[in-house]
Amino acid sequence: MQVLDQASEPATGASGLPVGLLAPHVSADDCTLSRLSRSGVRLTLHQARSLLRQGQDWDATGTLQRQVDGPTNLPDIWHKEAAWLKPTQLVRAWLAQPGITFQGGARVSALRQIGDQWELLDALGHVLARADRVVLANANGAMPLLETLQTTLPALGIRANQLPAMHGVRGQLSWAMHQGPPDAAFPPFPVNGAGSVIPVVPFEGGAAWFVGSSFQPDSRPPSPDEKNHAANLGRLHKLIPALGQVLAKQFAAGPLNTWKNTRCVTADRLPMVGPLYQADQPSLWICASMGSRGLSFSVLCAELLAARWGAEPLPVDAGLAHALKALRGVAAATENI
């Protein structure tokens, strides 16, 4: 398997999320998103236990979910099967597996089908790679490629409106190093509900705390970092008021460290994973739109791809797997009536 990425190296510190929270989604009706997230969390935890250093790259701390945005009488929920995890380290571990080749500095601008193979081209039309099967796992970057293919290869029948509507949501994480032992206001485990706080993570030779994340549609002009930091602090005041008071001075004094990027989100908040056109042996697939739950869904979606390619049992029941299919947009739904 060959992995192409526009970054010069896999999951660089400049682009990779420094730490994320792995916890299941909860709903009163135990909706599809909730059930899928539980399966995804279990699979990702298995990968962490197999490939990463506990206490350094991840830790099975559990997570407390506080119900701060609903009725005040809702109880908190303790998630035993939850953890913080450094995605960069997990990606590096995956890319180090046998049979994987990483090609950095490779921005794919177009695809061209030559017989049974695909050629991946750069902006000048030079061939970056050739493959029998291609998976677009580039989030919002998939749409320009698909729109081009609708014109250059109409016979495939690829139509963007067969996919669920996608949009980008910007997010910013606020973080800083602990100066000495953590203040007593920090909880002993991550807490989420109105945003999240990960209290202590080994980082850059010390320990850091992380609070986030902001939400802003990418259809609007980006907000200044200071405004996003203030939004993160506002959520922290709701989530853990005592900690919000302790960190308010640090937020005000600045500058805090910032990590920001754009999430790819579907209207139904579910990833899309599957072939991009109808055929007995489709060779162009997509695995994208993890939203804010990339740690919960990435391993699950990869297992779904592998199961379909190898005609193996699915990692979740067929109904849940069907909810993630890529071709579930307006055109596809109309054709199935």
Reported as a single tens digit per residue, the pLDDT across 37-79 is 999 999 999 999 999 999 999 999 999 999 887 666 778 999 9
Q: Are residues 210 and 243 in the same domain?
A: yes
Q: Are residues 80 and 116 in the same domain?
A: no
**DSSP 3-state helix, strand, coil percentages of the chain (rounded to 5)?**
30, 25, 40
> What is the reported pLDDT for 10?
64
> What is the reported pLDDT for 160?
80
> What is the reported pLDDT for 17?
92
| Domain assignment of residue 41, yes or no | no
- State how far the Cα of 118 lies from the Cα of 153, in Å rounded to an integer: 12
- State how far the Cα of 127 lies from the Cα of 135, in Å rounded to an integer: 17
> What is the reported pLDDT for 337?
42
Q: What angle do CA 316, 18, 104 make, to 5 degrees?
A: 80
Q: Are residues 152 and 244 in the same domain?
A: no
| CATH code: domain of residue 124 | 3.50.50.60
Residue at a domain's end among 206, 232, 263:
263
| Domain assignment of residue 4, yes or no | no
Domain holding 254, by residue range, is 59-85+167-263
Residue spans of the chain under pLDDT 50: 12-14, 337
Q: Are residues 114 and 144 in the same domain?
A: yes
| Domain assignment of residue 36, yes or no | no
Q: Are residues 314 and 241 in the same domain?
A: no
Q: Are residues 172 and 241 in the same domain?
A: yes
81 burial level (CB within 10 Å; 0-12, 13-18, 19+): middle
| Domain assignment of residue 7, yes or no | no
Strands (E), the chain: 2-4, 20-22, 58-59, 63-65, 77-79, 83-85, 101-103, 110-114, 117-121, 127-131, 134-136, 166-177, 191-193, 195-203, 206-212, 216-217, 257-266, 272-275, 284-288
| Domain assignment of residue 217, yes or no | yes
